[in-house]
């Protein structure tokens, strides 16, 4: 318990000389700005190093905590609608229509019965993150087109998603490539809902936004119809390293 | 009998402890609360933009990104407007000058994190000055990296990756400093009143900002207390 003492009269102290000051605040501010600028310029290399160091330690598990570490080469989840759409694997249907001789409606089993295509490629997002060497299994879009029979006059494909908003496009030439698939398996397991499952498009040589998620339909058309992300300023032909103002080399296009 | 006399350890009886001292003027308080609100919007929108499991629940990426970018561009505006105001900005400019200039007390305060009683702060202690300079630098870095991320076609390719990386790292550091700032603010009612009502009590000022109190009240600085004496038993 504190006791209150009567106040002694203040002892007058001689006026102190003004204390010397240094502008530490400004130095901290400028130092941080300089470090930030340096980080922008060399950050990609630092990130690549961190990704390499973390790779044996983190894995894309259910919680995906690794993705919270800046620079870890983990998938990030983007959705443009409210929450993620869902279709059960048994109810899932993929339609192929438009300028085709035989419109198709394929179930997941129908897709799995077709000759499988397997790709191991990097998944590169246009914002700068990359997941190296992702294993994909599915069906070549080219095989689907052969089965449906493309009619003369067709020159492009439009893709639609059961989220109701995501759309994409490819030219016929791009879609016929051996590294463009309709994927039902990813990293050894079914494509999860988070990653656009049960079935998504995977366009290996292009930035991730071309790989339409929650794929519901492939429409064969006579001209390229730019999709959702193109409407927001991204390039229609999204070649990794040669579009969207970039010229970085993709790490695996083999 | 004034209220403060009834509080244990409130200080020597004859000193007027309920004297109010203006700490922040109206402009400074407005700037603080506008900036704090925008910061809250930024941090809240950042969570679904960055954390995958939250993104999966919330979606709406394009909307959240637009809100986040708008708030980010607006954040420095209240501060800059106040700083530029010839009449209304004088209080803020004076405090910015105080926060920028460090004395031996401030460096000592930071080195011992306030434990050395010989380090007597003026209006702001070394920790507050450090935090202010850090946040100012961080905001500028977040703005610059955010601009590179948003208008990426104007910059070299690897800069976008670098900017994203720096933006993510500094975001973590900023959130940590905000949590620290809130912890200090919410555990010191007098300090909180300083930024909400604009004034603090004299005894708080004598304890927290002794050199500032001495200057404002026109009193001599009390002699250096011996470390073993509790502050409420300091003699004049």
Instruction: Please judge whether B101 and A21 are an interchain contact, meaning their C-beta atoms are less than 8 angstroms apart.
Output: yes
C-alpha A48/C-alpha A242 separation (Å) is 20
Please report which confidence band the pLDDT of residue A253 belongs to, taking 50, 70 and 90 as the band edges. Answer: very low
pLDDT of the residue at A59 = 62
Instruction: Please judge whether B165 and A71 are an interchain contact, meaning their C-beta atoms are less than 8 angstroms apart.
Output: yes
pLDDT of the residue at A140 = 97
Does residue B224 surpass a pLDDT of 80?
A: no
What residues of chain B lie within 8 A of the CB of A70, using their CB? 165, 168-169, 172
Please report which confidence band the pLDDT of residue B233 belongs to, taking 50, 70 and 90 as the band edges. Answer: low
What residues of chain B lie within 8 A of the CB of A63, using their CB? 53
Instruction: Please judge whether B58 and A33 are an interchain contact, meaning their C-beta atoms are less than 8 angstroms apart.
Output: no
| Beta bridge partner(s), residue B102 | A22
- The rounded radius of gyration (Å) of the Cα atoms in chain B is 21
pLDDT of the residue at A3 = 58
Which residues, 6+ apart, have CB-to-CB distance to B91 below 8 Å? B24, B25, B27, B28
Question: What percentage of chain A exceeds 70 in pLDDT?
Answer: 86
What residues of chain A lie within 8 A of the CB of B130, using their CB? 28
Q: φ and ψ at A93, to 5 degrees?
A: -140, 140
C-alpha A123/C-alpha A131 separation (Å) is 5
DSSP secondary structure string for all residues of A75-121 = -----SSSS-----TTT-EEEEEESBSS-EEEEHHHHHHSPPEEEEE
Query: What average pLDDT does range B191-200 have in this prediction?
Result: 95
Instruction: Please judge whether B133 and A129 are an interchain contact, meaning their C-beta atoms are less than 8 angstroms apart.
Output: no
Instruction: Please judge whether B55 and A76 are an interchain contact, meaning their C-beta atoms are less than 8 angstroms apart.
Output: yes
C-alpha B22/C-alpha B28 separation (Å) is 12
What residues of chain B lie within 8 A of the CB of A47, using their CB? 161-162, 165
Are A138 and A186 within 8 A, CB to CB? no
> Is pLDDT larger for residue B16 or for residue A186?
A186
Structure tokens at B211: 């050199």
Please report which confidence band the pLDDT of residue A61 belongs to, taking 50, 70 and 90 as the band edges. Answer: low
- How far from B28 is each of B75, B88, B140, CA to CA, in Å? 15, 9, 20
Does residue A37 surpass a pLDDT of 80?
A: yes
Q: φ and ψ at B134, to 5 degrees?
A: -65, -50
Sign of the torsion formed by the C-alpha atoms of A70, A71, A77 and A79 = positive
Q: Is B166 buried (19+), middle (13-18) or exposed (0-12) by CB count in 10 A?
A: buried
Helix/strand/coil for A139: strand
In whole angstroms, what separates CA A33 from the centre of its chain? 29
**Nearest-by-Cβ selection for B141 from A24, A33, A241:** A33
> Is pLDDT larger for residue A90 or for residue B158?
A90
pLDDT of the residue at A27 = 96
C-alpha A233/C-alpha A35 separation (Å) is 30
What residues of chain B lie within 8 A of the CB of A31, using their CB? 137
pLDDT of the residue at A141 = 97
What residues of chain B lie within 8 A of the CB of A35, using their CB? 141
> Which of B5, B130, B164 is the best mutation test for A, with the most CBs of A within 10 A?
B164
pLDDT tens-digit map of B21-70 = 999 999 999 999 999 999 999 999 999 999 888 888 898 999 999 999 99
pLDDT of the residue at B226 = 54
Alpha helices in chain A (DSSP H): 24-54, 108-113, 141-148, 172-175
Query: What average pLDDT does range B100-129 have in this prediction?
Result: 93
B104 touches chain A (CB under 8 A): yes
**Nearest-by-Cβ selection for B162 from A29, A39, A80:** A39
> Is pLDDT larger for residue B186 or for residue B56?
B186
Closest to A212 measured CA to CA, from A170, A243, A151, A154 = A170
CB pairs under 8 A between A and B: 205
Rounded to 10 degrees, what is the CA torsion of B148, A130, A35, B81? 30
> Is pLDDT larger for residue B141 or for residue A21?
B141
pLDDT of the residue at B165 = 92
Does residue A220 surpass a pLDDT of 70?
A: yes
Does residue B4 surpass a pLDDT of 80?
A: no
Does residue B172 surpass a pLDDT of 90?
A: yes
Instruction: Please judge whether B129 and A24 are an interchain contact, meaning their C-beta atoms are less than 8 angstroms apart.
Output: yes
Structure tokens at B183: 């912890």
Question: What percentage of chain A exceeds 90 in pLDDT?
Answer: 63
- CA of B57, closest CA in chain A: separation in Å? 5
C-alpha A122/C-alpha B35 separation (Å) is 41
Please report which confidence band the pLDDT of residue A68 belongs to, taking 50, 70 and 90 as the band edges. Answer: confident
Residue of B nearest to A81 (CA): B60
Instruction: Please judge whether B169 and A70 are an interchain contact, meaning their C-beta atoms are less than 8 angstroms apart.
Output: yes
Pair type for strands A93-98 and A215-221: parallel
Helix orientation angle between B157-186 and B126-150, rounded to the nearest 10 degrees: 150
> Is pLDDT larger for residue A89 or for residue B13?
A89
pLDDT tens-digit map of A125-179 = 888 788 888 999 999 999 999 999 999 999 999 999 999 999 999 999 999 999 9
Query: What average pLDDT does range B167-186 have in this prediction?
Result: 96
**Nearest-by-Cβ selection for A44 from B13, B162, B230:** B162
- Full-model pTM: 0.83
Residue of B nearest to A124 (CA): B161
> Is pLDDT larger for residue B221 or for residue A17?
B221
DSSP secondary structure string for all residues of B30-58 = HHHHHHHHHHHHHHHHHHHHH-HHHHHHH
């Amino acid at each position: 318990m504190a006791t209150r003492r009567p106040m002694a009269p203040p002892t007058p102290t001689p006026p102190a000389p003004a204390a010397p000051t240094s502008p530490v605040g400004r130095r901290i501010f400028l130092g941080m700005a300089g470090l930030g600028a340096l980080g922008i310029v060399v950050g990609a290399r630092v990130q690549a190093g961190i990704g390499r160091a973390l790779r044996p330690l983190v894995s894309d598990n259910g919680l995906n905590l690794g993705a919270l570490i800046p620079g870890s080469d983990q998938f990030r989840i983007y959705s443009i609608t409210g929450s993620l759409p869902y279709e059960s694997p048994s109810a899932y249907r993929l339609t192929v229509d438009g300028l085709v001789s035989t419109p198709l409606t394929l179930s997941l089993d129908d897709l799995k019965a077709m000759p499988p295509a397997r790709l191991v490629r990097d998944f590169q997002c246009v914002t700068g993150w990359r997941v190296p060497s992702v294993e994909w299994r599915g069906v070549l879009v080219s095989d689907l087109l052969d089965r449906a029979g493309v009619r003369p006059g067709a020159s492009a494909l439009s893709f639609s998603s059961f989220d109701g908003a995501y759309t994409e496009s490819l030219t016929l030439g791009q879609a016929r490539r051996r590294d463009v698939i309709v994927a039902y398996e990813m990293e050894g397991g079914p494509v999860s809902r988070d990653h656009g499952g049960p079935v998504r498009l995977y366009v290996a040589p292009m930035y991730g936004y071309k790989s339409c998620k929650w794929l519901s339909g492939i429409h064969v058309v006579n001209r390229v119809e730019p999709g959702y992300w193109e409407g927001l300023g991204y390039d229609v032909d999204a070649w990794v390293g040669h579009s969207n103002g970039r010229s970085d080399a993709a790490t695996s296009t083999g | 009998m004034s209220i403060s006399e009834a509080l244990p350890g409130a200080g020597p009886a004859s000193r007027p402890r309920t004297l109010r001292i203006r700490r922040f003027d109206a402009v400074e308080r407005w700037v603080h609360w506008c900036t704090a609100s925008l910061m809250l919007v930024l941090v809240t929108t950042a969570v679904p933009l960055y954390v995958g499991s939250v993104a999966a629940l919330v979606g709406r990426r394009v909307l959240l990104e637009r809100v986040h970018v708008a708030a980010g561009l607006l954040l420095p505006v209240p501060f800059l407007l106040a700083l530029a105001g010839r009449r209304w900005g004088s209080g803020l400019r004076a405090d910015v000058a105080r926060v920028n200039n460090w004395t031996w007390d401030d460096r000592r305060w930071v080195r011992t994190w306030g434990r050395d009683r010989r380090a007597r702060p003026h209006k702001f202690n070394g920790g507050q000055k450090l935090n202010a300079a850090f946040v100012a630098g961080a905001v500028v870095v977040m703005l610059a990296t955010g601009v590179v991320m948003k208008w990426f076609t104007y910059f070299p390719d690897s800069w976008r990756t670098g900017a994203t990386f720096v933006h993510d790292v500094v975001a973590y550091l900023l959130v940590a400093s905000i949590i620290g700032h809130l912890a200090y603010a919410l555990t010191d009612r007098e300090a909180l009143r300083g930024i909400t009502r604009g004034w603090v009590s004299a005894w708080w000022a004598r304890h927290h900002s002794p050199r500032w109190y001495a200057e404002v009240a026109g009193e001599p600085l009390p002699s250096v207390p011996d470390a073993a004496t509790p502050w409420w038993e300091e003699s004049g």
